[in-house]
Amino acid sequence: MKKLFLLIACGFLHFLDSQAQEMEELNFEKAIEIGLERNFDVKIAINEGLLRENDRRLGESALMPSLGLTNTRGFRREDTEQRFVNDPQPRLIPGAETRTNNYSLVAIYGFRPEAVVALKRLGQLSEVGELEAKVIMENAVAAISTAYYRLVLELQRYNVLNTALELSNERREIAKAQYEFGRASKRDFLAAQVDYNADLTALVNQEQIIQNSRVNLNQLLAFEPSKEFVVKDTILIKENLYLDDLLENAFEHNKQFLITQRMQNVAYLQLREIQAERLPFVTLNGAYNDNTLNSQAGFLIQNKQDGYTLGATFGINLFSGFSINRRVQGAKIQMRNQQHMLDQFELQMKSDLQRTYNVYQNSKRLLEIERVNYQVAIENADIALDRFRLGIANYLEFRDAQVNRLVAENRLIESLYNIKENEIELMRLSGRIYFANPNENIY
């Protein structure tokens, strides 16, 4: 059984080494670039923004004149019988033909004040669509960042477990030698074998966690789940983030906050649009007509008309059953609601920043503790190993020091990941997730 476990471990390590040489390397910057290019949520968000911009352009047509050209042609063939006052004898015309040919060029321009306000409202909605697309992109960047560093974390955990397995293997070899030379009991050797098998099981389970983490990242990058790549990054944290700077950036760059502001402007313009329906409107129209009639029956055998007409219509809404008043009242209520929503989101944004920043600060303090504790755990494990080699310490003392080192190292890398995760969230909340510094990991 132990040979089987050893073959599994060695085979996986050899597999990782061979794959690392063949697979492409994926760093953080490349992952973000690929995600923004391939992520389906990002593609859909961009198309939704284009639809909003298209709606705005359609609104512009309301302020443009319309021009139409028509050509109508007709042909009629019939047997005709005609009687005239001065001639009692009927006149028979078999197969009399009548042809008509009409050309008409019509131009209409109507100006309504509410159309001007509606165009401004559509412009604000177009900006909202663009900001919503950026929100989706920021969320995608945050999700990719978190998934990427989660994979880095799991790979580092694998290294920690692999180191623990190497120590367990060394302890097992020492226990085996001591047992063979009669310096230790078989119980000590079997205990070392059991602990080695437990560490090997943990390592195999970690392989599955790494595979699932890789699948999660592949999904965000729109890759096939089975795609393999090498990640050689480490978790690096920024120097310092300050709450005042984050709040200032949030009011200027948080896309969701800007959307709420724009929607308040939309509500105001909607009110103005309804009120503008009370103002006078004007419609100008002009037409050029060229009509020709040829007939083989009747008094008029040919008629031609060629000319133009001009007209203007002025109007004003005097009474509409108080419907405009009711719509104005509804628009004012909507404006107040949008103001409440803006105030609510502002408070939520500041609260989210404060909570995340508190966790970020606490995680940084814990990191310093974990760094010191890790150094102590390494020194303690080294001493315990030396004492075990010399036969001074028993296997329980060595195992306890080994487990403490494993826990300390796991807690250290977990602390680094927690800080990075909070950094990503703070960057997202402050609207700085796209800001890049070439000397640091970008968001």
pLDDT single digits (tens) 91-137: 777 877 778 888 888 888 777 788 888 888 888 888 888 898 899 99
The answer to whether residue 434 is domain-embedded is: no
Residuewise pLDDT in 10s, the chain (443 residues)? 444 334 444 444 444 454 444 567 888 888 999 988 889 988 898 888 888 888 777 777 767 788 888 888 888 787 777 766 676 777 777 877 778 888 888 888 777 788 888 888 888 888 888 898 899 999 999 999 999 999 999 999 999 899 889 888 888 888 788 777 777 678 878 888 888 899 899 999 999 999 999 999 999 999 999 888 888 778 888 778 899 999 999 999 999 999 999 999 999 998 988 888 888 888 888 888 878 877 766 666 777 778 888 888 888 888 877 888 898 999 899 999 999 999 999 999 999 999 999 999 999 999 999 999 989 988 888 888 888 777 777 777 878 888 888 889 889 999 999 999 999 999 999 998 853 333 333 44
Token output for 317 = 């809404």
Helix (H, G, I), strand (E, B) or coil at 236: coil
Q: Are 326 and 385 in contact (CB under 8 A)?
A: no
Backbone angles phi, psi at 36, to 5 degrees: -65, -25
Q: Are 282 and 311 in contact (CB under 8 A)?
A: no
The answer to whether residue 171 is domain-embedded is: yes
The answer to whether residue 94 is domain-embedded is: no
Cα separation, 156 vs 323, in Å, equals 67
Give the burial string for 169-189 (b: 16+ CB within 10 Å, else e): bbbbebbbebbeeeebeeebb
The answer to whether residue 301 is domain-embedded is: no
Orientation angle between helical segments 255-276 and 113-180, nearest 10 degrees: 160
Backbone angles phi, psi at 96, to 5 degrees: -70, 135
- CATH number at 370 reads 1.20.1600.10
Measured CA distances, 36 to 67, 132, 282, 328, 348 (Å):
43, 15, 49, 43, 28
What is the chain's alpha carbon radius of gyration, rounded to the nearest angstrom? Answer: 40
The answer to whether residue 47 is domain-embedded is: no
Q: Are 249 and 431 in contact (CB under 8 A)?
A: yes
Per-residue pLDDT, 184: 67
The residue type found at 12 is F
Per-residue pLDDT, 298: 65
Domain that residue 26 falls in: 2-38+112-279+316-429
- pTM exceeding 0.75: yes
The answer to whether residue 306 is domain-embedded is: no
The total of structural domains in the chain comes to 1
The answer to whether residue 211 is domain-embedded is: yes
The answer to whether residue 334 is domain-embedded is: yes
